[in-house]
Each structure stands twice: as C-alpha cells, then as structure tokens.
Amino acid sequence: MRKKILAALLLAAALVVAQSAGLPAATVIAAEDSQQAVGLGVAYHTQQEILDRMKKDGLNTSDTFSQPDGMTYGETPVTTAPYAAGSLSQDTLNKALAMLNQIRYIAGLQDNVTLSDEYNGLTQAAALVNYVNKDLSHEPAQPADMAKELYDLGYRGASKSNIASASWQNRSLNGTILHAWMADWDDYNIARVGHRRWVLNPQMGATGFGAVSGENGTYNAMYAIDYTGSGQEYGVAWPAQNMPVAYFDKRYPWSVSMGSDVDESTVKVTLTRVADSRTWTFGADSADGAFAVNNNISDICGQTGCIVFRPDGIEDYKAGDSFRVTIEGLASPVSYTVNFFDESSVNGGSQDGDNPGGSDQQPGGDNPGGSDQQPGGDNQGGSTNQPDSNPGGGTTQPGSQGGQSGSNVPAANVVVNVDWNAVGGKVDEAAMGEGVQNAEVHAGDEFEVPASVMNGLKGKDVTLMLHTGKGISFSIAGQDVKKQDGGWKVTMLSSVDIPAAAEQTVLQGAEASVEFGTQENETYAVPVGVHLNLGKENAGKRAFLYVYDEASDAMKLVSSFTVTAEGGAMFGMSRGGRYIAVVSEKAAEVAGMPTGRNSYTVKPGDTLSRIAAGNGISLGELMKANPQIKNKNVIKPGQVIQLR
C-alpha cells in the first residue's frame, strides 16, 4: 500500500474570527490537584488511563495517515455539475469525533463534544466548494455552475471551520486533526497555534466534519466556532502533562492557553529536561527558540492568553522523557511536568503487540542544528507556508501548514527575511569546528543565497542547510562551490502539476512518494542536495528521484539513495524543475539501475560529496570506505572509488 507524502501540497487554513462582543468570557475555576501542577485548571489523567482510552477508541496508525480506507462516504459527493455535497459515513464521522475527544481527554478538557447534523452539512459543503475551486479558502468563490443554495452552505461552513487540503486522495480526518491542526508548526501559525486552540476550546460542545477526495486531492473541514459546551477550564497545555510520544513531534510548538490576557513583556518561560537538567528560557527579549503570546486582540483563535514556545536543538522526544515547565510574570505562577510515554514505557514492554496511537510515522523530520548531515525533511515550519483569507475578518492573513500538518490556508509563498550577513557569520563559525559542519538557515519557500555567502562558503568543510518550511531542505557543500558571480535562487511551487500519464510511470507500485518543484528550471552553478523524509518504515529501501522532462513528456531518473533508519533520503540535483521521489522496487527495474553497486569511477567535475549524494551514502561513509584517500578535495578522473 503506497503512502504518498506530498510535502509541498498539504495545506490547511486556520480559522480566524474577527473580535466581536457577546462571546462567553473565560471563568476562573479552582485547579485540581494535578500531580503538583500549579496554575493548570484542567483534569489530570494518568498514563495508564490515557492508554486505556486510546485502546478503547481503537484509533490506530491507519486512521491517522493517508490510507485508501482512511475515509468513506454515506453519500458520495458529486464533484461536477450538477453538484451534490454528499456526506461522510457514520464510521468516518465517529472516528474523527473520537480523535477530537481523545485529544481533549489527554489535555484534561471535557471530552463530550457531539456531532451536529447541521455542522456536518456545512463542513461537507465547505469541503466540496474548496475541492471544486481547487483552492483552500475561508471565503471561497462561487463556482460558475454551482447552485447558489449549495454554495451558500459551503461558504458558511468554510467561514466557521478549520480547513485543510492535501494533494493526495483519501487523506484521513484523524491525520489532519492530530498532525495538522494540532501541530501548527509553520512560521505563521506558530505565533498563535489557532487550529490547536479551536480543537482545545473548553467551550466547544458540538462539531461537524466534511471531506471530499478525488483527482484534485483531499479537502477536509472541521466546524470550530461553537460555544454550546459548559467547559471553563484554563491553563490548557499541549503537550499535556502525560503525553503519548507518537502524538507530538520535535517540530511542534508547546502551548499553554490561560483563558485571560497575558502581558508578553513580563512573561518568562523556563523549560527544563529532567534527565540532564538542560534548560531553555523564553521571553519577549530573548528566547532559546520560538516564542509568542496571543491575546486574540485582532482576531479570535479559540481561548485567549496563549503562550507559545518551541525549544531549539531538540533531537526528538522519546518515551520516558520528562520536562518541567515554569512560567513567571503572570498574575499567578504556573508550573507543571510533561511526561512523554508509550505503552512499553508504562508497562515495561508491549503485551499485545499493538501500539495505541501509532508509531513514529511523521513524515518530514530533520536534524536541526546538527552536524552529521543526516538527510530528512524540513526542520522549520509546517508543510507549506502560504497566505489565506481571514474568515469573518475580511483581511488577508498569511499562513498554512502543508507537508504534514495543517494550518492557515496557503496560496502564495511566504518569504522569510533572512539576514544573509548573519548566515555568512554562521558559515565562518561552523568552519572552525572539526569535520564537516552544518550551517542551518530557515530560508522560507522563496529565497536567493547571495554570491557573497556562496563565495564565503567556497572550499570550507561546511554544508549550508536551507530549510524551506515545506518539509524539504536543500544543502550546498562548501567543497562543491567554485567562485560565484551570482547567487542561487529557489522559488518553491505550491502546485507541482506533473502530467498524470508521466507521473504514473514512476508512482505505479510505489510504497511512498514525495513531489516538489521549483519555478526555476535552469541548470545550477553548483551541485545541490535535496533532503526529504520517506518514512521510517522504508529504512534500508532504495529511493529514486525523477524530474519531469517537458521535451519528452516523461520522467527522467536523477539519482538514488538508500533510505536511512530515520526515513531520510538525500538526492543530488543539478537543476530546478518538477520532481518526484519514490520508494519502489519497480522504479529500480524501470531505471535499469543496479541497487547494490560497490564502486564508482570518477568523472571530470566529480567531487566526493557529489558522488556520495548520488549513491545514497554520506560523505563520512564514503571516506571510511576509501582510507587510501587522504585529502577529500583531491580525486582524479578515472580513479575507482569504493562505495561500500
């Protein structure tokens, strides 16, 4: 069964609502005795209680990621005129509701949200309108041949819902809820985690879900603006005090919603890892990572007074990890401990072989700040960073979360204001370390590395890692850089649009795939590596990168790579264009490519880093296999290099 991870095109739109009077105000209630937690007015659940709940719900990995059976209909939507919204099956609706309520249970909220037939109808119509338009919007345009009554339903639903889209079919609602709307990890959404706060709104009493899937991909919606519940919790934290490790990724921000406005200028957050006492601090003046406070001043994103922080340098969260959080500068202090767990860490080993809540299945991880050049996805932001309308507000807001998450809708690239002078300093600093070092930069999905930085990189044992925010990273090795007269420009495509016939020649039989593209088609002046994540389940398998050739209307093989234990793959690229990476035995056969060759003959213009990237191994592994090479910068055409 093929899992298609389309890093550039999973889009989602956070629901933002114009500030208005008349909404229920948060009421302070006495905090429970939450295992020494202070300032969290939520229920406390033990790890065993959460495991029992996860088993009862039966939401396994197939429910939380793209699967052919991830969504079924009660009535199949009609996606051409005359249109019909259709409806999701009761089973699909019940699973999505169970996922929502399970998340709320873990967070210590009332977990009795119900399904509303009205909301199901509105969100289903919203999903249809966005699907027909091939555009994710809270204020969708009316398709020319759609009846106004159906369109009006869709518009109402879209304006009051979390919405999301993925370029592949049958994206599950559970995957969207858990690893999109609850993630909110891209550069725009991290400042307010709006989707997450709607899911964790204490006063939600009812919701509805809609989804349409077909050749345009999958469009999902969850009704969010509901205040019919009686919950009045405050200090709502995610990750929660006891947190299933499979539900939280190193890229996801931490958040605490206090239920009343917070003065950003006085807040100081301290995060301490219990095992080694490593500490991160966050505040308005300085922060060891991302930091923000959102008070719903210009718009409403669920509960107000949200404190958001994400520590830099976290390699991963593992079962058994514990972190202490203290927050100062509030009217009353807040402190609590987050314990990450899985079934084996609770019971000393799995007794029945299942892994409630799934396994390490997140596409797109990366090695932020590291120096071992392990390939992987992006380490910043969500799957896509694109702007969208502000439902209910009438103004345009940037944001989105593709690649594996969901967030405030995309349509255009987000440009990050990179301080390239500072990047040059990072390169110089990295060059002072031993061995090949990384200089990490979050460059956004449209950037140009200036010639000054390229020339500063030239000849150094430094790899410049450029993270796009779309689950994709690019790398340039200093040893590959010659004197540059100009910079290197990349503009990521929001829609890859490879002709279906050509696409299917490499997707048929694929176990996993990633598609991405750049507006630029010219040949690069320097070899470039592209880093993707194809899933840990494909570790050790061979992956192949293809580029679409317009002249022949066919996919052309570029390079291959053996997927690492972490699910990463790094491919060499020499030009821009539209690409597909696949894990597939058939791809190897079609390419006529030996998957296990042991040697390589050096050609003019080759470098060791380029040879390594093109043969699925790291530069360190290549050097280890060739102890006779004393200077990695000196190789000659005709020289035979051992690959393994």
Closest listed residue to residue 503, CA positions, set 521, 524, 487, 517: 517
**Distance (Å, whole) CA 215 – CA 167:** 9
Residue 614: the pLDDT is: 64
Residue 42: the pLDDT is: 93
Q: Are strands 462-467 and 437-442 parallel, antiparallel or unpaired?
A: parallel
Q: Are residues 551 and 513 in contact, defined by beta-carbon separation less than 8 angstroms?
A: no
- Helix axis angle for 148-159 and 117-133, nearest 10°, is 100
The residue type found at 439 is: A
Q: Which residue has the tokens 């930085």?
A: 453
The 8 Å CB, 24+ separation contacts for 118-121 are: 118/208, 119/157, 119/206, 119/207, 119/208, 119/223, 119/226, 120/87, 120/88, 120/93, 120/208, 120/209, 120/210, 120/223, 121/85, 121/87, 121/153, 121/157, 121/208
7 — phi, psi (to 5°)? -60, -35
Locate 634 and state its tokens. Answer: 């000196």
Closest listed residue to residue 545, CA positions, set 516, 509, 524: 516
Name the DSSP letter for residue 23: P
Q: What is the DSSP string of 54-83?
A: HHHHT--HHHHS--TTS--EEE--B-SSSP
513 — phi, psi (to 5°)? -155, 155
* Domains, the chain, ordered by start: 47-345 (3.40.33.10), 420-594 (2.60.220), 597-643 (3.10.350.10)
**Distance (Å, whole) CA 159 – CA 391:** 5
Q: Are residues 389 and 137 in contact, defined by beta-carbon separation less than 8 angstroms?
A: yes
Cα 301–304–305 angle (5° rounding)? Answer: 130
Residue 331: the pLDDT is: 87
SS in 3 state form for 508-574? CCCCEEEEEEECCCCEEEEEEEEEEECCHHHCCCEEEEEEEECCCCEEEEEEEEECCCCCEEEEEEE
Q: In what order do the strands lie in the sheet with 568-575?
A: 437-442, 462-467, 473-477, 523-533, 568-575
**Distance (Å, whole) CA 41 – CA 303:** 13
Cα 191–195–198 angle (5° rounding)? Answer: 115
- Helix axis angle for 90-107 and 47-57, nearest 10°, is 180
Residue 364: the pLDDT is: 30
Q: Which residue has the tokens 């404190």?
A: 307
Name the DSSP letter for residue 253: P
Name, in order, each residue with C-beta under 8 angstroms of 221's C-beta and a sequence gap of 6 or more. 123, 124, 126, 127, 130, 157, 158, 161, 162, 163, 164, 209, 210, 211
Locate 455 and state its tokens. Answer: 């020339």
Name, in order, each residue with C-beta under 8 angstroms of 489's C-beta and a sequence gap of 6 or more. 447, 448, 449, 520
How many of the other CB atoms lie within 10 Å of CB of 21?
A: 4
Name, in order, each residue with C-beta under 8 angstroms of 142's C-beta and a sequence gap of 6 or more. 129, 148, 151, 155
Cα Rg for the chain, rounded, in angstroms?
A: 24
Q: Are strands 578-583 and 554-562 parallel, antiparallel or unpaired?
A: unpaired
Closest listed residue to residue 8, CA positions, set 519, 554, 544: 519
CB contact burial 343-368 (16+ within 10 A = b; e otherwise):
bebbeeeeeeeebbbbebbbbbbbbb
**Please, what sign has the CA dihedral across residues 593, 595, 598, 602?**
positive
Low-confidence stretches of the chain (pLDDT beneath 50): 1-10, 18-35, 61-66, 68, 349-414, 588-596
Name, in order, each residue with C-beta under 8 angstroms of 533's C-beta and a sequence gap of 6 or more. 5, 7, 363, 364, 365, 366, 375, 376, 377, 471, 514, 566, 567, 568, 569
Residue 302: the pLDDT is: 86
CA 176 centroid distance within chain: 11
Residue 369: the pLDDT is: 29
Q: Which residues pair with 441 in a beta bridge?
A: 466
Q: Find the largest Cα–Cα distance for the chain.
A: 77
**Distance (Å, whole) CA 119 – CA 207:** 6
Q: Which residue has the tokens 């520590």?
A: 311
pTM: 0.56
169 — phi, psi (to 5°)? -85, 155
